[in-house]
Chain A
């Protein structure tokens, strides 16, 4: 049964639709991420859960209790903000104690909890420092400890890593996940960074234009995008438009080229489809002036992007489509810019979207 439920949430800001229709159920102890581009409504949804915004329609239900109209200060939800939010007039320790003092938690218990949290975030030595004496990453760690100190019913995180540099971001997101798992707390996380979402979430809700486009685990979202938007937004995706030639034999015609795609099996003939293939599923072979094997896309290498262990090469296919393919960086030299290559992928690799549904 769902621990936190958002039922039919709608929210407009003047003429702008922030949430068109949002239904979401979060399980107890789950780490769920709202992922989407700026303006998709993810932060509005989080702020409604926190009690900072009120929905125009719909309800927020926590443990079977409607909390839609409960004030933010009475919801007992810890929140970590995108902007640095520590109280500048208090030390790190005083910041973490703030919520405990308001709740009149006994002194001994306050000390015990604060000590444990500072150990958990690895900042035991920085307890007496003021926020301006801490780095951005340290401030967000303290903000996390402050949110956790009150033992919140839900931990809300609104792009808490976006102001940090890349290295600290990766380190801190792992810490957030570790702490959340250790404490078994329910967490709702908002980000526009797909890598962040994919790496730490139990489930991800990909949002666009105030709606959830797809809800699923990281591998479901990455491997089987439900809509063209998800396919475009999460990771790099090659998109080939085609028409089913033979649903039984899984044959698709993409601009005159017949490709075998298992996912079209059973689809009616002439059904227009979008074939989606990840760059890592595309196999590239140098052709030179030779003939291309049947069922391969032929094109010319136009650029290289070094990504560490792999290099992403862009190929302008002769059929008119552009393709991206990942090759081992050690092998990238075999495909210099301008060389003619043949690209193929296993029939099982692509996912397919019926274009009428899109």
Chain B
């Protein structure tokens, strides 16, 4: 018994070291801008760079649009599959897994062939429409995570009975979706939303090849030309991502009490 407990602690310690040593090393390196003393100069330079603010803002706006679009697509789909088309679940699961199998670079070249300026739907013709294309590609990239989060939350409630109870009380489909189903899968939707946020903030391939001023290409640009600033940016990205995960915990805890009654 004592042996197994010691083993667990050792495994946990190794895990912690595995994750934290590279992070601490990066953090420590980001403070060495001036020889011989620790300083936050690299952070100051990064935060003072107007491109940093612009690219972060662009990526945040795009992430929010992706979240809205992704949820609008996934929640009704997952709900309908659970309610009326359970036989289609394996097909939809397969489709949602494709973005994990097909590399982003293959996807983006596909987009460029289909939506180039001389195609029937020339989405790459203007900056705005390219933004729309980039957002759609992010929805695809985030699909495996968003679909699973929402589907898991839907499986935790009795979708069929809740739907029929609402119908018998006179509710239409939009009322059922927004007032009965969505509030009860809030944890899943939030998880999907924040995972989407984390993916979009750091994404490089699609933004770079579609030539959009996102945070991912900016990270790469700094990394290729500077020494200490990339480490500072890496830490800032970590902080942003972890803040997202923290928010999942905070919102998730709030909703957990209500979701418990769904079973």
Contacts of A72 in B (CB 8 A): 164, 167-168
Question: How near does chain A come to B170, taking the closest CB pair, in angstroms?
Answer: 5
Q: Which residue of chain A has the shortest Cβ distance to B165 in the bound complex?
A: A85
Residue among A78, A99, A156 with the highest chain B CB neighbour number at 10 A: A99
B222 close to A (CB within 8 Å): no
With A72-B167, A73-B171 known as contacts, the answer to whether A81 contacts B257 (CB < 8 A) is no
B261 close to A (CB within 8 Å): yes
Q: Is the CB of B165 within 8 A of A132?
A: no
Q: Is the CB of A98 within 8 A of B164?
A: no
Q: Is the CB of B161 within 8 A of A83?
A: yes
Q: Is the CB of A88 within 8 A of B165?
A: no
7 A-B interface contacts by CB (under 8 A): A52-B164, A78-B168, A88-B261, A89-B258, A99-B170, A143-B165, A146-B169
* A143 to B169 Cα, complex, angstroms: 11
Residue among B157, B167, B171 with the highest chain A CB neighbour number at 10 A: B167
Question: How near does chain B come to A81, taking the closest CB pair, in angstroms?
Answer: 5
Known: A146-B165, A156-B168. 13 other contacts (CB 8 A): A51-B167, A72-B164, A73-B170, A74-B170, A78-B168, A78-B169, A88-B157, A89-B180, A89-B183, A98-B171, A99-B170, A133-B261, A150-B170
A79 close to B (CB within 8 Å): yes
Contacts of A156 in B (CB 8 A): 168
* A99 to B169 Cα, complex, angstroms: 5
With A83-B161, A85-B161 known as contacts, the answer to whether A132 contacts B167 (CB < 8 A) is no
Q: Is the CB of A130 within 8 A of B257?
A: yes
Q: Is the CB of A52 within 8 A of B167?
A: yes
A277 close to B (CB within 8 Å): no
Residue among A78, A85, A86 with the highest chain B CB neighbour number at 10 A: A85
Question: How near does chain B come to A244, taking the closest CB pair, in angstroms?
Answer: 52
B47 close to A (CB within 8 Å): no
Q: Which 10 A-B pairs have the closest CB atoms?
A: A132-B261, A99-B169, A88-B261, A89-B183, A88-B262, A131-B261, A85-B165, A79-B168, A72-B167, A85-B161
Q: Which residue of chain B has the shortest Cβ distance to A96 in the bound complex?
A: B169
Contacts of B180 in A (CB 8 A): 87, 89
A76 close to B (CB within 8 Å): yes
A198 close to B (CB within 8 Å): no
Main secondary structure of the interface of B (DSSP, over half): helix
B184 close to A (CB within 8 Å): yes
Contact digits for B222-261, partner A, Cβ 8 Å, 1 yes 0 no: 0000000000000000000000000000000000011111
A218 close to B (CB within 8 Å): no
Contact digits for A25-52, partner B, Cβ 8 Å, 1 yes 0 no: 0000000000000000000000000111
* A81 to B169 Cα, complex, angstroms: 13
B172 close to A (CB within 8 Å): yes
Q: Is the CB of A98 within 8 A of B261?
A: no
With A81-B161, A132-B257 known as contacts, the answer to whether A87 contacts B168 (CB < 8 A) is no
Question: How near does chain B come to A39, taking the closest CB pair, in angstroms?
Answer: 19
Contacts of A103 in B (CB 8 A): 170
Interface residues on B, range: 20 to 34
Q: Is the CB of B170 within 8 A of A76?
A: yes
- Other-chain contact of A88, B164, B172, B175, B184 (Cβ < 8 Å): B184
Contacts of A307 in B (CB 8 A): none
Q: Which residue of chain B has the shortest Cβ distance to A52 in the bound complex?
A: B164
Contact digits for B129-171, partner A, Cβ 8 Å, 1 yes 0 no: 0000000000000000000000000000110011011111111
Contact digits for B96-132, partner A, Cβ 8 Å, 1 yes 0 no: 0000000000000000000000000000000000000
* A171 to B158 Cα, complex, angstroms: 26
Question: How near does chain B come to A69, taking the closest CB pair, in angstroms?
Answer: 15
Contacts of B170 in A (CB 8 A): 73-74, 76, 99, 102-103, 150
A341 close to B (CB within 8 Å): no
Question: How near does chain B come to A63, taking the closest CB pair, in angstroms?
Answer: 18
A252 close to B (CB within 8 Å): no
Q: Is the CB of A88 within 8 A of B258?
A: yes
With A73-B172, A102-B175 known as contacts, the answer to whether A87 contacts B259 (CB < 8 A) is no
Q: Is the CB of B158 within 8 A of A83?
A: yes
Q: Is the CB of B167 within 8 A of A73?
A: yes
- Other-chain contact of A86, B175, B259, B261 (Cβ < 8 Å): B261
* A133 to B183 Cα, complex, angstroms: 18
A147 close to B (CB within 8 Å): yes
Q: Which residue of chain A has the shortest Cβ distance to B260 in the bound complex?
A: A132
* A132 to B183 Cα, complex, angstroms: 15
Question: How near does chain B come to A106, taking the closest CB pair, in angstroms?
Answer: 16
Contacts of A143 in B (CB 8 A): 165
Contacts of A99 in B (CB 8 A): 169-170
Residue among B164, B166, B186, B257 with the highest chain A CB neighbour number at 10 A: B164
A77 close to B (CB within 8 Å): yes
